[in-house]
Structures are given as structure tokens and as C-alpha cells.
Amino acid sequence: MTLASGSASAAHDQKGTDMSTQTVNVAVAKAQPTGLKKGKVKCVVWDLDNTVWDGILLEGGNVRIRPEAADLIRTLDQRGILNSVASRNDHEAAMAAIERAGLADYFLCPQVSWNPKSDSVAAVASTLNIGLDTIAFIDDQEFERDEVGFSHPQVLCYDAADVASLADRPEFTPKFVTGESASRREMYASGFERDRAEQDFAGTNEEFLATLGMVMTIAPATVADLRRAEELTVRTNQLNSTGVTYSYAELEAMLDSPGHLLLVAGLDDRYGSYGKIGLALVETADTYWTLKLLLMSCRVMSRGVGTVLLHHVMRQANAAGARLLAEFVPTDRNRVMHVTYRFAGFTEHSEHDGVLLLAGPPGAAPKPPSYLRLQ
């Protein structure tokens, strides 16, 4: 690649040695990533120069991948924690260097530009459809960490000098590594393929969904499902009806309880498997069933399957001759779940201690949409 004269020097200045043209309150309190929730981080966003590799790419190009960085990237990937990039760099040169290092497949939606890194971090969170409070950012430059931390105080910021020790921190250590965890990156990559196909599709959204050949399974949970079930309650925020999390032991107790029904939903299509993407916990009784928890993975939000699990529970209750009630606890993220209940015909029944109890409509629920096969 031929670079204009002086560009490497300018790039180095933009990297952080001369940031006088930018205005950031660097007096912002430094991130203190201590005492954090176990398995909190869903994606690590990496700087490149002097972080993933030693050296400044545009000051010579012969950069050396840091072994401790490569090891952490692969370890996180195996745990189901995604990796991405936020680098102030030349896009073509940086992506070529990542490819040569054999790391290209590990980085989802990398952001390489001259924009502020706070913009890049926000773009990663938006593309992956995850909260900024589940993002960790690693950079060797204190200024860059402060700039991201000032714009997004929810983001955990780490010095690149600490990379070798991060794998042992609780926020990077999920309680369980499930089948879905180990293949999470591939699931996201398949999702991006679906999104591109959808953008190129000329018909309606329903016509596009019909091309996917979606098959949804809903079945009582087994012991083999419990690790993923706990993971779903911990990781799912937007499409969680109560925000309540359940431990493995609590969920295991539900399996043997005659007064509870624990359902797990999975989804597959022609691009591959989404894995286990839904969970419903129902407290059963002769006259009333109470839906204690309903959640769906954010990864299927645009696939038109959000109401399928709810309708299935409604049909189950109707077949048992019971009226279905549903608990809903509003959080700062789950308003869409309240909308889901309302569209399904649920109305407000009562409220107690911040828990809104919704009453389902009488009669049978609608059948699954024509573009999806339920089994």
C-alpha cells in the first residue's frame, strides 16, 4: 500500500501522542472494574496498535501480535464472549494485518476508522444488539480509555498492560460454558448472513421469513438444558418479562416440581442453528396458570418468533382448562415484552410490590405463523 507523505506521522498523532484538537473531560473518574458480576461481559472491543500487536501499523507495518492478546481472544471466544475492534487506523491496512495474523474470523463487526473510539464502541454494541454495560474496552492509551469511559460510563475499560490477567477476572468468567456459548460467534456470523440476505430481498418481510425455512422446537426442559437456561436468564435483558435470574439449582428444582412447567425453545433455519433461544417458566394450578418468566434471546428479535412461545403456553393452559396469568416487572429495557403481552390480548389484572399481573384472553391462542414450523 502506498501512503501519502507524512500520513504515518499523522496517524501516530491521531493515535494519542497529540490529542490537543479533541475535547474530552479527561478528569472523568477512571473505570474501577472491581467486584463485578460474574460473566457480565458479552463482548470485548480491542484497540490494535500496541494492544493486539506491538508497534504502530502505519509507522512501518511490521507489527508483531502479542501472544497474551491472541491467547485472551481465543479464550474469550471459547467461553462465548465475542471480540471486536475499535481502532483509529487505516481500514485496509489494519484489516490486512488482522488477516495475516489469523485473527480475522474472531473479530465481529470491526470498527476501523478515524472516528472517536466511543463512536466505534457504540457501533459494535448496536450491531451486536447488546447493551453497552456488557462491553469491555481494551486500549494502551489512557486518553482513549477516558474518552470511551466519559461517553459511555457503562463500558468497562482496561489497560492493555493488564491483558495477561483478564481471563481470571469474574466478569470474563461465565459460570457455565454451554454448546451455545462455544458456538456464539458462528451464530452471530450466520445472523449477519441472514441480515445481508434480507437487505437484498425485494419482497415483504413475511415473504423473506418464508425463505428461511425456520423450525422452532418447544419442549419441557431436561437436565441437559439447565446450564443454557440459567445462562439465558442471566444474559437476556430486553426480552425478559421480569428481569429475574434463576440459578441452576432453582431451575433444577422446577423439573421435579409437579406445580411447575419449564419450557425451552430452540430455532433453526437454512443458515444454521440459533441454539436454545427461549424460556418459559409456568406455575401450574387447576384454575389458574401463572407465567412467572418469559424470555427470548435478542438474536431472534427480528425473526418474527417472539409471540410463538407465548402462544404455545396459552394453548397449553387452555387445553388444561386453566386461565393464564402472566407476571411482568418493568425494567429499563424490557418494554417490548409488555407490548408483546398486550398484542397477545393480555390485560392488567392487578399489581403488588411492583409486579404487574396480566390476564390472558379466553379461548385458544393463534396458530404459529405460516413462515415457521413448530415441532
One domain for residues 216 and 350: yes
Rounded to an integer, the average pLDDT of 251-256 is 91
Residue 26 lies in a domain: no
The position carrying cell 406445580 is 259
Pairing of strands 214-220, 260-269: antiparallel
Residue 240 lies in a domain: yes
pLDDT of the residue at 39: 63
One domain for residues 164 and 220: no
Question: Which of 178, 174, 172, 190 lies closest to 135 in space, CA to CA?
Answer: 172
C-alpha cell at 303: 425473526
Find the domain containing 351 and state its range: 210-374
One domain for residues 219 and 267: yes
One domain for residues 146 and 219: no
Percent of the chain whose predicted confidence (pLDDT) is above 70: 89
pLDDT of the residue at 185: 94
Residue 28 has pLDDT above 50, yes or no: no
Here the CATH number for the domain that contains residue 345 is 3.40.630.30
One domain for residues 162 and 219: no
One domain for residues 214 and 162: no
One domain for residues 157 and 223: no
Q: Where among 125, 155, 172 does a domain terminate?
A: 172
One domain for residues 145 and 227: no
Q: How confident is residue 38, by pLDDT bands cut at 50, 70 and 90?
A: low
Positive or negative CA dihedral for 140, 146, 152, 154? positive
pLDDT mean across residues, the chain:
87
Instruction: Tell me the pLDDT tens digit for each residue of 307-345.
Output: 899 999 999 999 999 999 999 998 888 888 899 999 999
C-alpha cell at 78: 471459547
Residue 203 lies in a domain: no
One domain for residues 284 and 144: no
Residue 305 lies in a domain: yes
One domain for residues 214 and 262: yes
Here the CATH number for the domain that contains residue 74 is 3.40.50.1000
Number of domains observed in the structure of the chain: 2
pLDDT of the residue at 8: 42
Instruction: Tell me the pLDDT tens digit for each residue of 46-63.
Output: 999 999 999 999 987 689
Give dist(CA 373, CA 267) in Å, integer.
Answer: 10
| β strands within the chain, DSSP E | 43-46, 53-54, 64-65, 82-88, 111-113, 135-139, 156-159, 214-220, 260-269, 272-283, 288-296, 323-328, 347-352, 355-359, 372-374
One domain for residues 238 and 167: no
pLDDT of the residue at 5: 35
Residue 165: alpha-carbon gap to chain centroid: 24
Q: Where among 124, 142, 172 does a domain terminate?
A: 172
Instruction: Tell me the pLDDT tens digit for each residue of 61-96.
Output: 689 999 999 999 999 999 999 999 999 999 999 999
At residue 51, what is the residue type? T
One domain for residues 65 and 140: yes
Residue 229 lies in a domain: yes
